[in-house]
Amino acid sequence: MGEHRPIRAIGTWQLIFIAVSSMVGSSWLFAALYTSQLAGPAGIFSVLIGGIIMLAIAMVFAELSTMFPVGGGSARLPFLSHGGLAGYVVGFLNWTAYLAVAPMEVTALIEYTADIYPWLTVTEHGEKELSGYGLLAAIPILLLLVVLNLFGVKLLAKANFPLAIWKLAIPVLTIAAFALTRFDTGNFTTSGGFAPMGVNGVLGAVAAGGCVVAYLGFRSVLEMAGEVKNPGRAIPLAMIGGIVFCMVLYSLLNLTFVGALDPKALAQGWDGLVSTTKAGPIAAIALQLGLGWLMVLLLIDAIVSPSGTALIYTGVSARVSRAMNQNGAFPRFFAKLNHHGIPAYGILFNFLIGMILLLPFPGWQSMMGIISSSLVLSLGFGPISLLALRKQFPDRKRPFRLPMATPFAAISFICCNFVVYWAGWRTNSMLAILVGIALVLFPIMVPRVSKSPITWRPAIWIVPYFISLFLCSWLGQYEGLKVISAGWDLIIIAIISIGALWLALRERRSDESARAAAKDPGFAI
């Protein structure tokens, strides 16, 4: 291993199916319930807001990824525009979040089969978690995903194709079955009306209800860009087309879920809505409606959908850890490729860490919050890198060029910070610890593995940006102290965002330094 290079073997349709397969995972099985609990019927707006924000971010990354179609782009591009510290922090956030995706999806898989095998789960503090037997069942499933990833990106794409077809068909069938069997319009006005939790409920559900994490799968395209045959065409189609499709799918699913509910289930209000079976909320409604055939398909899909997403992210996390090595931040063994062009050691190491992550976060909802906030926080570096790289590489070919890039990037960055804020202080307190760990580890790890001296200045703006964002979350309306009133909190977040963006562009790498870094083979097309 180690002498091989990534193989560009993923075609346009294969990449589109990878994007959709990454987005249609366990979220569609759970998010409709959690969104309804937090926002009531108005959760449809949460779904749309999350989709619009992710679509805007995807358009930013469509230009970046076609300009530099490299593996692990989420870590490589901030490194190119702002140096080692930016690349390390973003890469660390992505890597740790991606590590948790496969265990989270396998957790959803096991939780959904608990009606058949109830000993796989236990209930702790009102939340369903894996039992000891459930944790043991997760190991061979995760190991199978590792094996499939080790035999090359061609096999990965082929294995994903039938999974993606299935994953698209079952939600569409569910939407049709619910709409045709029972659609009670009274559910949209009962128990407090259409928006019983108000605007705060709608905005809070964008992050905490799973609306954002449902779209984050488009990032798999970014991380696998180094193995795409025709990146200039395939990447924008996969990113943007995949999100638009899923926006329609999730919106219809949310509407039909609310319409199909038994009005008696709303007796305790929307925040008291619970699933009546261990198999989850969608299956519970199918059972109530007497749709036995759909119940069977959903139980099968409970295995297929999370498995497909976990399959993709098992490979994606290894691309990011390899990119971290190329940034001079992770040991060499993360970058070693087998003869299939796959970072095999990285996949195996990430599998071991992923198993450990099952222990502190054994429930789907508890894992989902920190994953979505971590990934959205790192997404904010995309608009920053886009504006910086336009100045550093004004003449570089851009197969996809974003119109009105400056205002578009600024609005996208502000929206990313809004989503992080809406996740609430409970989640952001854990995210702040994760960011702190990254900042502490940077001066410890990088000198041990990097041949270049540490450069702090191009990314020193990160420290006041993070402090201001987390302080606002602590004092804000979402699980915070509520010192900052509603309305003013979003204005303050916008001001923090504009200030951080201005500093980031002023302190970016020099044009000469960025162009020298781009000569690294990892940035070659």
| Residues 6+ positions from 460 with CB-CB distance below 8 Å | 85, 507
- Residue 383 pLDDT > 90: yes
- Residue 27 pLDDT > 80: no
Structure confidence by residue, pLDDT tens digits, 34-59: 888 888 899 999 999 989 988 999 89
Question: How much is the pLDDT for 517?
Answer: 83
Q: Which residue has the higher pLDDT, 468 or 439?
A: 468
Question: How many Cα atoms occupy the beta-carbon half-sphere of 4 within 13 Å?
Answer: 14
Tokens coding 247:
């926006």
Q: Count CB neighbours of 480 within 10 A.
A: 20
Average of per-residue pLDDT across 316-345: 76
Residue 151 C-alpha from the chain's centroid: 25
- Residue 291 pLDDT > 60: yes
Q: Which residue has the higher pLDDT, 491 or 118?
A: 491
State whether residue 231 is helix, strand or coil.
helix
- Report residue 338's pLDDT band, with 50, 70 and 90 as the boundaries: confident
Given CA atoms 319, 324, 327, 333 in this order, what sign does their dihedral have? negative
Average of per-residue pLDDT across 165-188: 91
Question: How many Cα atoms occupy the beta-carbon half-sphere of 76 within 13 Å?
Answer: 30
Structure confidence by residue, pLDDT tens digits, 391-441: 999 998 888 899 999 999 999 999 999 989 988 898 899 889 989 988 888
Which of 17-26, 259-268, 390-399 tops mean pLDDT?
A: 390-399
Tokens coding 342:
């796959």
Tokens coding 498:
């504009």
Cβ atoms of 98 and 312 within 8 Å: the answer is: no
Question: How much is the pLDDT for 469?
Answer: 96
Rounded to whole angstroms, how far apart are CA atoms 224 and 222?
A: 6
- Residue 364 pLDDT > 80: no
Residue 485 C-alpha from the chain's centroid: 29
Question: How much is the pLDDT for 331?
Answer: 75
pLDDT mean across residues, the chain: 83
DSSP 423: T
| H-helix or E-strand spanning residue 129 | strand 127-130
Q: Which residue has the higher pLDDT, 395 or 219?
A: 395
Question: Which of 84-88, 278-282, 422-426 is least confident?
Answer: 278-282
∠ Cα 358 361 366 (to 5°): 140
Cβ atoms of 144 and 134 within 8 Å: the answer is: no
- Report residue 1's pLDDT band, with 50, 70 and 90 as the boundaries: very low
Q: Which residue has the higher pLDDT, 451 or 354?
A: 354
Tokens coding 114:
């608990």
Q: Which residue has 């070919």 as its token pair? A: 397
Determine what percent of the chain is predicted with pLDDT higher than 70: 89
State whether residue 395 is helix, strand or coil.
coil
Domains with residue ranges and CATH for the chain: 12-523 (1.20.1740.10)
SS (H, E, C) 455-504: CCHHHCCHHHHHHHHHHHHHHCCCCCCCCCCCCHHHHHHHHHHHHHHHHH
∠ Cα 360 363 365 (to 5°): 115
Question: How much is the pLDDT for 443?
Answer: 81
